[in-house]
Chains A and B, each alone.
Chain A
Amino acid sequence: MTDFPGRIFYNGEAFPLAEIPLLPLDEFLQAVIDATDFGWRISSLFGDKSNSGTALYCVLSYKIDGMMGIIRSTAKDTFPSITALVPQAHLFEREIAEQWGVAPEGHPWFKPLRFHRALKPGAEAWGRSQQTEILPGVIDFYQVTGEEIHEVAVGPVHAGIIEPGHFRFQCHGEHVYHLEISLGYQHRGVEAALVGGPHSKTLYQMETVAGDTTVGHTQAYSMIIEALSGCRPPAKGEVIRGIALELERLANHTGDLGAIAGDIGYLPTSSFCGRIRGDFLNMTALLCGSRFGRGLIRPGGTGFDLGLPQMDDLRGRLAAARKDLTSAVDLLWSTQSVMARLEGTGAVSLEDSNRLGLVGPAARACGATRDVRQDHPFGIFRMSQIPTVSSQSGDVFARTLLRWLEAERSLEFVEEQLSQLPGGSCRHEVGPLAGEQVAVAMTEGWRGEICHVAITDQSGRFARYKIVDPSFHNWPGLAMAMRDQQISDFPLCNKSFNLSYCGFDL
């Protein structure tokens, strides 16, 4: 699509704010509809304060030639909803309404998302009074009525040790007609806290946007800072970052494989994977002293260098973990009762996945070949590529298999990188940030596409910092996977998606 009316750029680029064409509202929305029809996807759609109402920005990405585009517009009090035409805009529109009080007119599912006051003082899209407290989970849930229909409410306090979220099922016996997910219990106000930054705390806030995706989010943040300051991290820093990102993926995929096995009561894989996940976390600790990669990724490179003895140690541990993981996971495929449980449970079609804009393993399990490392390469992935894998059936089995296939590719990648680690320093100094610029960075965290967008003011401070965690795209996928399923399969489906609550709630 060559007639995209916005500023075209590539992943990790910064450019002056003025270069983004300011479209009239209807042209802006039409451009989003046209682009998504053409196969672009919405990576980020967000609002910002503006002198004349609320500014709307839309970052779109196109996998074929790695292009990304951004457009903007201004809305007064309302804007026409495009969710009915472009379902992937669903949560973004609700988010804009909640943050800026601009209601999407005709939105089919217009409810608060995270249950907080608008970022713009006094703005309110639902007409709630400023005095009453806003409590999470207080909405009119969708209801199915009829004989023998019953409603099951789960959470926000769960039986297991997981994050809080509320799930409302409309059931007929064991059969689920509809699942509505209501989150927001973990809302911390991350985006509001980032405005005026970078502060001394900003990097630590980035590390905990989603605690299990520390590397993914800090990588995206570092790319933003580097783009805005014109710094290029040294090759060695890029390689260590790539290794850290893949180790994070390995640890989490291994943990998920074990958790899926645990959910179906299959003990051996569950126990072994729990232990091997720890081995991968310890490898990250070998790089930087933190099992979750805190302090490793820093703007301009990495906070820790990788020495020869560490590399040998890492290689040995990788080989051992690969052997253990292979045998633990092979047990899954060779056990009939496990396969019977996984196959056909919670299937999402490729068409639904594309319409909802799913990302990461959840999308690739449906047959999509969407992967930021391949489509919009960043860092070391511009030099060495990881083949994108996908499985076809879109069910729990596909999501399980996909995790294993990705883990294999990641193991190969880390081993390859360790054998050709460049010399030199691992970090360059970062200069001051350029003012009135926009920077967009996308990375492929283990859950999928992470998109950070920063807009700076005249003095180079963040006027707006928008984070889209992959869970934001994928929660509707879980609700879709539960349609016409057994309610007893929900924990398994949930585990196979394993989405972040705090990454969504921000």
Chain B
Amino acid sequence: MTDLLIHLVLIICMPPLMLGIIGKTKAAFAGRVGAPYLQPYFDLFKLLRKGSVFSSTTTWIFRAGPIITLAATITAALLIPLGNHPSPISFAGDMILFAYLFGLARFFTMAAALDTGSSFEGMGAAREATFSCLVEPTLFFALIVLCRISGSLSLSTMLTHSLVNIWFSAGASLVLLVAGLFIILLAENCRIPFDDPNTHLELTMIHEVMVLDHSGPAFGYILYGAAMKLFILGAFFIHIALPFKTGDHLLDWGIFIISMVALAITIGIVESIMARLRLVRIPQLLVAASILTAFSMLLILR
């Protein structure tokens, strides 16, 4: 019961903090003080208090987009185990639901973007569709590897299965897996080098350009959903990259939170020392991620 409560509290409260930590890390590299850690929360509350403006050319799809996206993301958050604790909902094959909840969220974000009829948002949707096609194989190769290792089709068993021994017995496979997953973690969450969440240049953005027409609470849902997606995929990544488990409930929660903070700092560092890729180069890197995880799978199946 406590575990369930902690799971829910973390899922609801922690995602914006990740963005705050990334922001602080980037500010430190730039020699600035940076916005407070809690700034993303302030931004969300500000947006929730605002009114919304809807273009007269949009339909119900535009209004439904942010809500369905957030709902799908929250559902996915209930399927992912955090730390050493099983997820609130789990069943055999939930990994497929997990993968396609994000697919559903993406579909409605793109549909809402196309609904506006704006040429920028159409471009953004086209980019998102292209890149997500390339991300999907990586995710499924990763899931197959984990299935094979744990012998289970449920995320809870797959991810809380003790991976420490596997790191010793099949380290090469897991290194490839972690590399591939880190690339899609950055790509899926629109971080540098794939997308720059801070520029507001309509011609270069991917995710941000699709949500240009949203305002007020709806835009708040989108930002919150994006933060939660980063948190969920980050937790997925942490399970494989840092599989330290003690068996003590509270200690495991502590380790999980510290690992997530470390991940946020790592993302901040990557964003600080790299420039964005040219848009035409992004598919190449995503295909590379697929190949890495494909080889990881081959090594496990061997």
A positions within 8 Å CB-CB of B: 150-154, 159-160, 173-174, 261-268, 270-272, 275, 335, 337-338, 340-341, 345, 486-492
* A486/B271 in contact, CB under 8 A: no
* Of the residues A153, A265, A268, A486, contact of B280 by C-beta under 8 Å: A486
| Chain A residues within 8 Å of B202, by CB | 154, 159
| Chain B residues within 8 Å of A151, by CB | 119
Once A153-B119, A337-B193 are accepted as A-B contacts, the answer to whether A174 and B275 lie under 8 Å apart by CB is no
Q: How large is the interface on B (under 10, 10 to 19, 20 to 34, 35 or more residues)?
A: 20 to 34
Is B9 interfacial (CB 8 A cutoff)?
no
* A262/B199 in contact, CB under 8 A: yes
- The answer for the CA separation of A275 and B271 in the assembled complex, in Å, is 20
* B126/A173 in contact, CB under 8 A: yes
* A491/B26 in contact, CB under 8 A: no
* B278/A265 in contact, CB under 8 A: no
* A264/B280 in contact, CB under 8 A: no
Once A159-B200, A265-B198 are accepted as A-B contacts, the answer to whether A345 and B278 lie under 8 Å apart by CB is yes
* B119/A160 in contact, CB under 8 A: no
Interface residues of B in 207-226 (CB under 8 A from A): none
| Chain A residues within 8 Å of B281, by CB | 340
From B26, B196, B201, B277, residue with most partner A Cβ within 10 Å: B201
- The answer for the CA separation of A136 and B225 in the assembled complex, in Å, is 41
Instruction: Looking at the assembled complex, report how far the CB atom of B135 sits from the nearest CB atom of chain A, in whole angstroms.
Output: 18
Is B31 interfacial (CB 8 A cutoff)?
yes
Once A268-B29, A488-B203, A490-B203 are accepted as A-B contacts, the answer to whether A337 and B280 lie under 8 Å apart by CB is no
* B278/A491 in contact, CB under 8 A: no
Instruction: Looking at the assembled complex, report how far the CB atom of B199 sits from the nearest CB atom of chain A, in whole angstroms.
Output: 7
* B30/A337 in contact, CB under 8 A: no
* A267/B277 in contact, CB under 8 A: no
Instruction: Looking at the assembled complex, report how far the CB atom of B64 sits from the nearest CB atom of chain A, in whole angstroms.
Output: 26
Once A153-B119, A341-B277, A341-B278 are accepted as A-B contacts, the answer to whether A159 and B192 lie under 8 Å apart by CB is no
Is B204 interfacial (CB 8 A cutoff)?
yes
Instruction: Looking at the assembled complex, report how far the CB atom of A122 sits from the nearest CB atom of chain B, in whole angstroms.
Output: 40
* A341/B119 in contact, CB under 8 A: no
- The answer for the CA separation of A489 and B280 in the assembled complex, in Å, is 10
* A491/B203 in contact, CB under 8 A: yes
If over half of B's interface residues share one DSSP class (helix, strand or loop), that class is named, otherwise mixed; here it is loop
Q: Which residue of A lies closest to B268 (CB)?
A: A267
Can you name 8 extra interface pairs (CB under 8 A) apart from A154-B202, A271-B30, A340-B281? A152-B120, A174-B279, A265-B193, A268-B29, A272-B30, A337-B275, A340-B278, A491-B201
| Chain A residues within 8 Å of B203, by CB | 152, 154, 487-488, 490-491
Instruction: Looking at the assembled complex, report how far the CB atom of B212 sits from the nearest CB atom of chain A, in whole angstroms.
Output: 8
| Chain B residues within 8 Å of A490, by CB | 203-204
* A266/B120 in contact, CB under 8 A: no
- The answer for the CA separation of A173 and B193 in the assembled complex, in Å, is 21
* B275/A338 in contact, CB under 8 A: yes
- The answer for the CA separation of A3 and B198 in the assembled complex, in Å, is 58
- The answer for the CA separation of A271 and B26 in the assembled complex, in Å, is 10
Instruction: Looking at the assembled complex, report how far the CB atom of A260 sits from the nearest CB atom of chain B, in whole angstroms.
Output: 10
Once A152-B119, A263-B201, A265-B196 are accepted as A-B contacts, the answer to whether A488 and B279 lie under 8 Å apart by CB is yes
| Chain B residues within 8 Å of A341, by CB | 275-278
* Of the residues B30, B119, B199, B201, contact of A150 by C-beta under 8 Å: B119
* B272/A268 in contact, CB under 8 A: yes
* A272/B31 in contact, CB under 8 A: yes
* Of the residues A152, A159, A264, contact of B275 by C-beta under 8 Å: A264
| Chain A residues within 8 Å of B196, by CB | 265
- The answer for the CA separation of A266 and B199 in the assembled complex, in Å, is 11
Instruction: Looking at the assembled complex, report how far the CB atom of B272 sits from the nearest CB atom of chain A, in whole angstroms.
Output: 5
Q: Which residue of B lies closest to A150 (CB)?
A: B119
Interface residues of B in 250-302 (CB under 8 A from A): 271-281
Q: Which residue of B lies closest to A151 (CB)?
A: B119
List 10 tightest A-B contacts by C-beta distance, closest first.
A271-B30, A265-B276, A265-B196, A266-B275, A488-B279, A264-B275, A491-B201, A159-B200, A337-B275, A338-B275
Q: Which residue of A lies closest to B193 (CB)?
A: A337
- The answer for the CA separation of A270 and B198 in the assembled complex, in Å, is 13
Once A152-B123, A174-B280, A266-B275 are accepted as A-B contacts, the answer to whether A488 and B204 lie under 8 Å apart by CB is yes
Q: Which residue of A lies closest to B273 (CB)?
A: A335
* A265/B29 in contact, CB under 8 A: no
